[in-house]
Chains A and B, each alone.
Chain A
Amino acid sequence: MLKILKYSFYDLVRSRWSLIYFAFYITLGFVLLFLNNDISKSVITLMNIIIVLTPLIATLLGIMYYYNSREFIELLLAHPMKRSAIFIGQYLGLSISLSISLILGLGIPFLIYGVLISTVIFDFLTLILVGTFLNFIFVALAYNIALSNENKIKGFGYAILLWLFLAVIYDGLLLTLLVVFDDYPLEKTALMGSVLNPIDLSRILILLKLDISALMGYTGAIFKNFFGNSMGMLMAFAILLVWVVLPVGRIVQIAKRKDF
């Protein structure tokens, strides 16, 4: 597995897409800091980008990488090695290379602008950590879709739909639910609803650090109580971890039985 991981990792790191992705983040980081010149405000803008774009790019690259390396996979399958090793190796290679693009791409400009000595270092770390989690989650989801769909067009379609659902439609549904059932006590529902979606969960984790004053309001206090203490924080990350483990488990399951 390590060999495959190493191979796909090097392959990806040298590829055009990783470089473009890396270049995108590094430009973004510098431009944001140049325009704002204030690290804490840049972190807010960055949050909007990370929770929307990171999942999208991870999904698309995941799908693309699987379809592109299909022949290579078939070649590997002819060799005496465990099936799960091939897929997990590739999955990890892709996720890690994407995460490194993210970490370095944003880390370098912020380091140069002195994030280490600013007060937002923890906000920034949360942001990077959440971004990394989103990479792992959405690459895994993309692999699931790709493994279940031989048809490339269908695969891409589903992948984009998945992203659209989790990033936009889900919130719309949740909002409708909350507004329609206005008369009932809905704090718990709202909490559950947002915890179940990795993008929402990531957003709230960062929000709690940035928009504290608004969240401290009437119902905000309940969310703050839940996520604000270390238990809630741990639980949030545990749920993110579950979002990684479950799709990866399914990759292994499908890979075992799949007919190539």
Chain B
Amino acid sequence: MSLNFKHCVTVAIILLLLWSVVVTNAKTIDVCKLCDHTTIRSGVEFASSGDTITIHQGVYKENELIINKPLTLIGKKESILDGEKKGNILLIDANYVNIMGLTFINVGSSYTEDFAAIKLRKTKYCRIENNFLDNVFFGIVLEKSRQALIKGNQIKSNAKDEFNSGNGIHLWYCQNITIDSNALYNLRDGIYLEFVDSSTITRNISKNNLRYGLHFMFSNYDVYSNNLFQNNGAGVAVMFSKHIQMFQNTFTKNWGVASYGLLLKEINDAEISHNVFEENTIGINVEGTNRINYFANDFKSNGWAVKIHGGCYLNNFKQNNFLYNTFDISYNGKMNDNTFDNNYWSNYTGYDLNKDQIGDVPFRPVKLFSYVVNKTPETIILLRSLFIDLINVSEKVSPIFTPDNLIDNQPLMNIYRDKN
């Protein structure tokens, strides 16, 4: 008993000592027009590891400001860092750096360098939270960093052309990054990932971006869920990546000459489930993908719900809802071993005599007209004409041009909803 008590006391004393060390060492530095430090740069230079710098209201003209020790920068109301269109604003070269509640404006643009508002280079455990970035070239750039958290930031720009605009959140050779609840508007790519593994992207809003809302290149084992992608050149592009999981995202109004909700190119082993694709020119554009499961997605009022080009193996469409799309599926190339079973098709006209909720007549999702439009795009002008309906019906009765094994053998009679 006494031994235990002794132990407790020792532990308490050690803790108290540690705490006092932390308290005495970590100080808070204020930066404002009337403080000891009138620029952030002098505050950063004065600070030592673990300090907190509070930045008060005011416009601070800073660029190429390097942070090379663990610091916390906290912005009070209307604390603005103005880059004056000269290169980067903040460069972070240390671990455990926190940047919170600051406003960054006017990042310089360049054709050769990726100037950013906040750039992290070879860092670990950094947090970038609740910042507001406007008129940026690149917003937040992470290079060779790990375990970072990027949360609640709002990034805006006014991108006009792809070649001279930058990305909102740009990751290059990173691992274990969390990107959560950010809003990205009018950039080139909202979020861009290149060689990024084991990261999660959740609850972001990506709108009105020139190219893609979210862009994966050579990135593996990532998850993105509960994001909204609206009115981008294409909602999400996943290219040359493996093991990407895509859940509960919404892709809407990605309209345009070559616009997709989701663009898949050369990807393997992905899961795509519970997403909503609504009013896109093309819901999903698929090219050269293997072992992909499409499950419980809603395709609503798209021009083409799914457009599949060649070189696809083992893609399974199961329990998806295809609702009021102009074309449900457009298919090029060989059928291979892709399957389309147990989906709900609003265009299905079959019956269910034994009442097991599965249609007794198989459904052919590819219409002859979608085959014709693929070949000669101009014929789209004949959409919904009586003649087209007639040839569609005759093709349905005896398929000649459309792949005759592209069939849903067990179409659902009712819209699929998860039980839970």
Quick check: B282 and A186 within 8 Å, CB to CB?
A: no
Which of B176-184, B256-264, B268-276 has 4 or more CB atoms under 8 Å from chain A? B256-264
Quick check: B376 and A48 within 8 Å, CB to CB?
A: no
Quick check: A213 and B381 within 8 Å, CB to CB?
A: no
Quick check: B387 and A213 within 8 Å, CB to CB?
A: no
Quick check: A171 and B382 within 8 Å, CB to CB?
A: yes
A198 to chain B, nearest CB (A): 13
Quick check: B387 and A179 within 8 Å, CB to CB?
A: no
Contact of B384 among A48, A167, A168, A169 (CB under 8 A): A48
Interface: A211 (CB within 8 A): yes
How many of chain B's residues have a CB under 8 angstroms from any CB in A? 33
A-B CB contacts (within 8 Å), total count: 105
Quick check: A167 and B375 within 8 Å, CB to CB?
A: no
Quick check: A216 and B381 within 8 Å, CB to CB?
A: no
Quick check: B303 and A211 within 8 Å, CB to CB?
A: yes
A199 to chain B, nearest CB (A): 8
Q: How large is the interface on A (under 10, 10 to 19, 20 to 34, 35 or more residues)?
A: 35 or more
A115 to chain B, nearest CB (A): 19
Q: Which B194-246 residues have a C-beta within 8 angstroms of A?
A: none
Which of A64-72, A77-85, A135-143, A217-225 has 4 or more CB atoms under 8 Å from chain B? A217-225
Which of A103-111, A117-125, A187-195, A247-255 has 4 or more CB atoms under 8 Å from chain B? A187-195
Interface: A239 (CB within 8 A): no
Quick check: A207 and B384 within 8 Å, CB to CB?
A: yes
Q: Mark B149-169, 1 if CB is under 8 A from A, else 0.
A: 000000000000000000000
* Chain A, Cβ-Cβ closest to B389: A48
Alpha-carbon separation in the docked complex, A199 to B376 (Å): 22
Interface: A160 (CB within 8 A): no
Quick check: B381 and A190 within 8 Å, CB to CB?
A: yes
Quick check: A217 and B376 within 8 Å, CB to CB?
A: no
Inside 8 A of A212's CB, which chain B residues have their CB? 255, 279
Interface: B326 (CB within 8 A): yes
Quick check: B282 and A217 within 8 Å, CB to CB?
A: yes
Point out which of A168, A186, A215, A216 has the most chain B C-beta atoms below 10 A from its C-beta: A216
Interface: A214 (CB within 8 A): yes
Interface: B402 (CB within 8 A): no
Quick check: B255 and A219 within 8 Å, CB to CB?
A: no
Interface: B324 (CB within 8 A): yes
Known contacts: A203-B385, A213-B280, A214-B327. The answer to whether A182 contacts B376 by CB under 8 A is yes
Listed A/B pairs (8) with beta-carbon separation below 8 Å:
A41-B324, A167-B386, A199-B385, A200-B381, A213-B302, A214-B303, A219-B380, A220-B303
Q: 3 tightest A-B contacts by CB?
A: A214-B303, A171-B387, A214-B326
